[in-house]
Amino acid sequence: MISRDREQLKDLSVRVFSVLLFFSFFSLPLPRIAGQDTASYDLATELVLSRYSNLTPVFKDELQSKFSFCIVDIDEDWDGAFNFSKDSRFISNCAKKMAGGSIGEVLGRLCTAAEIKLYSEGLLQSGKTSYLKPNKNCNLSSWVSGCEPGWACGSSEKVDPKNRSYVPVRSNDCAPCCEGFFCPHGLTCMLPCPKGAYCPFAKLNNETGTCEPYSYQLPPGKQNHTCGGADKWADFSSSKELFCSGGSYCPSTIQKNPCSSGHYCRQGSTSQEQCFRMATCKSQSENQNITAYGILLFAGLIFILLIIYNCSDQVLATREKRQAKSREKAVQSVRETAQAREKWKSAKDIAKKHAVGLSSQFSRTFSRRKSTRHSDQLKGLGQAKPGTDAALPPMPPNEQSAGTSKGKKKDKSSLTQMIHAIEEDPNSHEGFNLEIGDKNIKKQTGKAPKGKQLHTQSQIFKYAYGQIEKEKALQEQNANLTFSGVIQMAGDTEISKRPPIEVAFKDLTLTLKGKNKHLMRCVTGKISPGRVSAVMGPSGAGKTTFLSALAGKIKGCTMSGMILVNGKMESIHSYKKIIGFVPQDDIVHGNLTVEENLWFSARCRLSADLPKPEKVLVVERVIESLGLQAVRDSLVGTVERRGISGGQRKRVNVGLEMVMEPSLLILDEPTSGLDSSSSNLLLRALRREALEGVNICMVVHQPSYTLFKMFDDLILLAKGGLTVYHGSVKKVEEYFATLGITVPERVNPPDYFIDILEGIVKPSTSSGVTYKQLPVRWMLHNGYPVPMDMLQSSDGMAASAGENSAHGGSTPNAGSDGQSFAGDFWQDVKCHVEVNKDALQHNFLKSSDLSERITPGVFQQYRYFLGRGGKQRLREARTQAVDFLILLIAGVCLGTLAKVSDETFGAIGYTYTVIAVSLLCKIAALRTFGLDKLHYWRESSSGMSSLAYFLSRDTIDLFNTIIKPLVYLSMFYFFNNPRSSVIDNFIVLLCLVYCVTGIAYALAIYLAPGPAQLWSVLLPVVLTLIANYNENKFVSRIADLCYTKWALEAFVIANAKRYSGVWLITRCGSLMKTGYDLNHWYRSLIFLIITGLYAFLVLFAGKKKGSV
């Protein structure tokens, strides 16, 4: 009841304000009206207007202080309601109908400032009654006819319109209120009706006993009392009869005309509006029917969406086909050149053999001296390598000169030129160059272009594939990459070395914060450049934890011991630009091709000054080494769209780190899910990387014997992160043999060792060692210090530390098994807090860059991210088309069902709009960014610019931010037809979509997919309910922080500004009830944009909350 009374008081205060408006507008000078009967009536009109010419300043300051929320420009709004300069006949008509037609009768019936004040106070105290509180003229002892609704009386006193303290006595010549005026119940003076109102004389309805079109009744017992004029002007709900009805327009307050065909007239109109060309407007139409525009737009947008849905892939497909054609042409050219070169070398070797035989025949014919000289030549030839130029006899000097001087034939065959070129330099890029579609052999002009001199796509691919074919030829000569073959190839081939990174660790121990549980303990050793190290162990041994600790990705743990990088106490993050980390999960962009994934990683992470041909060569070498040639142009694939196989996806996951040419490459189970052939192929590629000085460390789960022998070093961990062995793969069986553990015949050594550590296979009793004692035996074997509890466990005096640590074991002081539930809960809470604290500190961790690699800057990476995002959006065009279609349907439904209410200025329809747009845009944003969250974490942790990522994301989202409001508004506006303009509605929707997109991204990165979707649905609904609840101050304060209130306020304000004249009281009453302010339109838009920006900043701050 209290809240309802407050609303009533607010409404009444607005009514008081409406009364204050009337007289201030009389300050406007009005011209004489042509066609008036006599000059006296002209003089009466001018006197009435001039009497109130200086009344405006009396109330202007009060109006600005109390009602600025609904009136922005007092002069403009008052002019729109009370500027009667075009037609003021209702004043002269009133003077004519006064008794005697005197000017004094008209002036004596108009309200003064004191009566306006009395009217204001009476409305505030009397509630929604139809009369005011008792006053001098209308009270219990004195109730003249002028006190009745629709009546007014004159005064015999001299009336001062500016006097705010004295109410003149009005009891003379009471008469019905003039047309164009209204006379409230309990007040004996007249007030002018505003523009847009229709105030005729009332007529008595004998059946109902009311004065129509008004709803008041005649006073009982007064037979001579008749119906008067209008009785009140208030908000639309309580004085609807005063408003000019829909389908008609009222050029003056005493004239009402029906709307003609081809025009429409809204409620309270002063003129008729022209309908649009294709709109349907019959006579007396209240609104134009612009549904035809909506249907045409709907059909056009559906047609466009169908085109996008069916032809979206053609844009990228055409570009990819052209690039693939250029690449295939280069490959064919390089291969044909290589084949021709090999054929020429074979022919040359045969010719050399025949030359040797011919020389021996000549030796029998010539003299002994010549024969002896010739045999010396053959002896020298026998020392030369077969198949080389040294095996051929030297040409006579005259023949050599003749070969160059005989230039009579200028059209010397290109084949001869190529033969000489190959003879001079068999390994050059010159010589045979067979182009597709040309049967003739052409000579490549000039020398082979260097990487920096290559410009066209074809030249770049020819350079890259030429280098790859050369490397493959060398590999085929060297025993298929066996260890000896690798050494031989390394000696024959100039292999570029990378900056070395050696990681040494001593007594490395990881303890979970808040729980005092060991994840790793006393791990000592090192991984070296140029070697491939395997980390093995049973489940729960901490293999992934060990790699995460080396890569600096461990969180929520206390780390003791030392990690040295190149022999110095430096942070591993200082080298993150040259460190590759391959996660166990295949985090690859499914809507990009294999080549696009690798090429993007290479462009962003390779050195910025590396020429493009060299980058292409790096990517092509990785594709070749990983066996991805056949699927290079295939999409990786997503859940909805099938792509490459799981094994190929795993190799692409590894290739993302190989293309950045790392110095340290850490891989978490890269061979899981791969068959034997693919695993072998991957290990060969990694060994090729090790030749360049790369430090490779990888977790492997029970490899085959062939793969096992391809590793250089082995780190074998027991449960709880305890080292059992760390050394060369060749010596692991020898070490275990010293402990009395011998691998049986036909048993894979790594499988046998892991079975022992699991406790599945027990060592022989003759060895005198158990699997629990193996970590201590290793520490004692190497002279490492052994903690006392581990030393005791080795003698069987205490529980094994490995057993405790395997499943979250703790030290003896960690607590007892009988700890209460509250204690366990408190430990979990502390652990959770410590993990989040570490994650927050990790976000703001800064370290100097010691990698000596300058990657592309933020702007350049922004371009790369923008190009990748554009491709992804084009491939997701079908999904985007479905989103737009749903928005179209939502706009049609809400525009049709939620019609604009003049009383609330369309607040209901806009409320549904805020909820619908928020839901649809958030869900779409969650779908896109939720899938990219893991990719973003991987890329940001590898050193890619997070700022470039978000700037590109924001830029690409601008398309949706602009298009989605247009799509929704194209339906909603034409089916709902509010008074506000399309531009105003579009601007508000634009800011709203930007805001909710940022919020959805923040939810996506901080929450799991399920909770994020739930919050995306709950937030707009709950916040909209809070925004519309004004009965509690605390809730109202909360509502001021809700983006839904700002959006709804901006919508309502844009519509409310279009209501003027007779709608002023309704506008002020509605805005006061909802707490909105006409001055807050720009502020609401700014708040929406700031909320979106803040959400993106929160998203940027939480970029490393998760890690891979």
Q: What pLDDT shows up at residue 717?
A: 92
Say what the pTM is: 0.73
Max mean pLDDT among 60-64, 183-187, 359-363 falls in: 183-187
Average per-residue pLDDT for the chain: 75
Question: Mean pLDDT throughout 635-648?
Answer: 84
Question: Mean pLDDT throughout 475-479?
Answer: 51
Side-chain half-sphere exposure of 244, counting CA atoms within 13 A = 34
Distances (CA, A) of 338 to 335, 426, 454, 607: 5, 10, 20, 31
Q: Which residue has the higher pLDDT, 595 or 927?
A: 595
Residue with tokens 């809507």: 591
Question: Mean pLDDT throughout 899-918?
Answer: 86
List, for residues 103-143, the tens digit of each pLDDT value.
667 777 888 777 777 776 655 554 444 556 777 788 777 78
Question: Mean pLDDT throughout 1003-1026?
Answer: 86
Rounded to 5 degrees, what are φ and ψ at 347?
-60, -40
Residue 1108, pLDDT > 70, answer: no
Of 17-26, 149-158, 186-195, 386-395, least confident by mean pLDDT is: 386-395
Q: What pLDDT shows up at residue 860?
A: 92
Q: Which residue has the higher pLDDT, 1076 or 838?
A: 1076
Q: What pLDDT shows up at residue 6?
A: 45
List, for residues 778-799, the tens digit of each pLDDT value.
888 888 888 877 776 655 433 3
Question: Mean pLDDT throughout 284-295?
Answer: 75
Q: What pLDDT shows up at residue 172?
A: 81
Question: Mean pLDDT throughout 577-587?
Answer: 89
Partners of 289 in beta bridges: 280
Max mean pLDDT among 509-523, 859-873, 917-931 falls in: 859-873
Give residues with Cβ within 8 angstroms of 680, minimum separation 6: 706, 707
pLDDT band at 57 (very low <50, low <70, confident <90, very high): low
Q: What pLDDT shows up at residue 284?
A: 83
Handedness of CA 707, 711, 713, 719 (dihedral sign): negative
pLDDT band at 445 (very low <50, low <70, confident <90, very high): very low
Of 392-396, 918-922, 1022-1026, 1093-1097, least confident by mean pLDDT is: 392-396
List, for residues 806-836, the tens digit of each pLDDT value.
333 334 444 444 456 666 666 666 666 666 6
Residue with tokens 């490549």: 444
pLDDT band at 370 (very low <50, low <70, confident <90, very high): very low
* CA 201 – CA 213 distance, rounded (Å): 9
Q: What pLDDT shows up at residue 699?
A: 92
Q: What pLDDT shows up at residue 102?
A: 62
Q: What pLDDT shows up at residue 328?
A: 64
Q: Cβ(107)–Cβ(47) under 8 Å?
A: yes
Residue 1086, pLDDT > 90, answer: yes
Question: Mean pLDDT throughout 1041-1070?
Answer: 87
Of 420-424, 621-625, 654-658, 720-724, least confident by mean pLDDT is: 420-424
Please tell us whether the domain made up of 503-808 is placed in CATH 3.40.50.300.
yes
Q: Convert 489-516 into a string of H (helix), E (strand) and C (coil).
A: HHHHCCCCCCCCCCEEEEEEEEEECCCC
Q: What pLDDT shows up at residue 640?
A: 73
Residue 561, pLDDT > 90, answer: no
Of 149-153, 314-318, 584-588, 1020-1024, least confident by mean pLDDT is: 314-318
Question: Mean pLDDT throughout 611-624?
Answer: 86
List, for residues 158-180, the tens digit of each pLDDT value.
777 777 778 888 888 888 888 88
Name residue 468's amino acid. I
Cα radius of gyration rounded to whole Å, the chain: 46
Q: What pLDDT shows up at residue 184?
A: 85
pLDDT band at 716 (very low <50, low <70, confident <90, very high): very high
Question: Mean pLDDT throughout 662-685?
Answer: 88
Q: Where are the domains of the chain?
A: 2-243, 293-393+414-475, 503-808, 858-1028+1081-1101
Question: Mean pLDDT throughout 996-1021?
Answer: 86
Question: Mean pLDDT throughout 1035-1052?
Answer: 89
List, for residues 739-767, the tens digit of each pLDDT value.
888 888 888 888 888 888 888 888 777 66
DSSP string, 962-992: HHHHHHHHHHHHHHH--SS-HHHHHHHHHHH
List, for residues 378-415, the tens digit of each pLDDT value.
444 344 433 333 333 344 444 344 343 434 334 444 44
Question: Mean pLDDT throughout 610-619?
Answer: 86
Residue 490, pLDDT > 60, answer: no
How open is the CA angle 401-407-411, to the nearest 5 degrees?
A: 140
Q: Cβ(980)–Cβ(1054) under 8 Å?
A: yes
Of 73-87, 238-252, 563-577, least confident by mean pLDDT is: 73-87
Q: What pLDDT shows up at residue 1043?
A: 92
The total number of residues shown for the chain amounts to 1108
Question: Mean pLDDT throughout 698-726?
Answer: 90
Q: What pLDDT shows up at residue 839?
A: 57
Question: Mean pLDDT throughout 450-470?
Answer: 57
Question: Mean pLDDT throughout 664-680?
Answer: 88
* CA 622 – CA 629 distance, rounded (Å): 10
Residue with tokens 């009453």: 1069
Q: What pLDDT shows up at residue 838?
A: 59
Q: Which residue has the higher pLDDT, 708 or 852?
A: 708
Of 368-382, 485-499, 542-556, least confident by mean pLDDT is: 368-382
Name residue 341's amino acid. R
Q: What pLDDT shows up at residue 442?
A: 36
Q: How many CB atoms lie within 10 A of CB 890?
A: 20
Helix extents (H) in 977-1040: 982-1006, 1009-1027, 1033-1039
pLDDT band at 285 (very low <50, low <70, confident <90, very high): confident
Q: What pLDDT shows up at residue 950?
A: 84
Question: Mean pLDDT throughout 1051-1066?
Answer: 86
